[in-house]
Amino acid sequence: MTSRERVNLALNHKQPDRVPLDLGATSVSGMHVSSVYALRQALGLDEPGTPVKVVEPFQMLGEIKPDLMDALGVDVVSLGLPKNMFGFENKDWKPWTFWDGTPVLVPADFNTEPEPNGDILLYPEGDKSAPPSGRMPKGGFYFDAIVRQDPIDDDKLNPEDNIEEFKPISDWELEHLKAEVERLYNETDKAIVGSFGGTSFGDIALVPAPQLKYPKGIRDIEEWYMSTVTRKEYVREVFERQCEIALGNLAKVHKVVGDMVSAVFVTGTDFGMQTGPFISPAAYRDLYQPFHRRINDWVHTNTNWKTFIHSCGAIVDFLPDFIDAGFDILNPVQCSATGMDPQVLKDRFGDKITFWGGGVDTQKTLPFGTPDEVRKEVAERIRIFGKGGGFVFNSIHNIQARTPVENLVALYEAFKENAWY
């Protein structure tokens, strides 16, 4: 069975030959570049000192090359737009080194500037004449978005200011998607996940707009969250305009990629904390669900794609509403959060939504457990979620920096030992 056949069967709640595996097909199912480097070294894929490309600089995710996919048995590849979260292209690679000495390659416009205290600043579109939009603390492994918020005058607030980053897709971007989807579809047997942007309403990672040089509107994280209550109609108008642009873009994208894509990443907005919902289900149904339903309805009416929602935390109370909104896939399936017991999730919702994730805990087990504890958890999650299809194995969110390499090896060895039906 090919990877594409395997994934498509699982997404249709049918049992393939084995559980499909994802690593790196989305920005929430990848691995920190330093951990990719360590894993490649452990598997003997590179000579010591061979750098790994940073393909997503905000979270510093590493490239999952075909040789690593083959070594692990990865079944899914990513199709995305050419610019990253800081607004520059991933091209013309140059060397860069982490605090711990890990050698990496970064895009040419990854232009950093050290602060006196050792922090590193990164700039929108790589333009150092603009205010910085990202900060990596000294000794850190990730960038934090820098909030650039002008004083808010409610009488002058204009929803257009909060949709500056949501634009009609360009012919250049469509040409990129067309060439890349044809390459991936014809040169690999992998299932393709599309990430086309613009459909994630209120994703707090995107609100500060690190790709914009001079963002306007409501860009402060706390202010945005409060505005979903105190300025609800403003936020709703932002979502309405964003949705119109997104639907137009999806129609254009579908014309060039067709049904070569198996799934599309719709939203990464988090609705859960560790211990419970971040907002009430009623608030979700009022402000977010109508736009999710419009996107999902368009996708299901016009394409064969499955729709993918990423929401961290204790979100079991939202699952009936996510399903009602038309989502086909749930990620990251944070089983350590309150109410997110794997068996309960599978029993209640396993025939209605595909669990993409949940394979191993990246907060405790993978970074701090023993290899045997990793193996045990992987085997148990496959046993529970894998039954009858409806499961794509992935860790719970991205695998982080400083994860012990022996645990990474144990993770993928355990997957290979347990994934076959």
Query: Residue 354: enclosing H or E segment and its boundaries?
Result: strand 354-356
Q: What is the pLDDT of residues 378-406, one digit of tens each?
A: 999 999 999 999 999 999 999 999 999 99
Q: Is 75 exposed, middle or buried (0-12, 13-18, 19+ CB in 10 A)?
A: buried
Instruction: Check residue 248 and give its pLDDT.
Output: 98
- φ, ψ for residue 56 (rounded to 5)? -140, 100
Tell which residue, 20, 137, 131, has the closest CA to residue 73. Answer: 20
Q: Tell me if the pTM is above 0.95.
A: yes
| Three-state DSSP class for residue 309 | strand
pLDDT average per 10 residues of sequence, the chain (421 residues) = 98 98 98 98 98 97 98 98 97 95 97 93 97 96 95 95 97 98 98 98 96 97 97 98 98 98 98 96 98 98 98 98 98 98 98 98 98 98 97 98 98 98 94
> First CA to last CA across the chain, in angstroms?
13
CATH code of the domain occupying 3-47+64-87+151-418: 3.20.20.210
**Cα separations (Å) of 75 from 71, 180, 232, 337, 419?**
11, 17, 41, 27, 12
Tell which residue, 296, 385, 286, has the closest CA to residue 344. Answer: 385
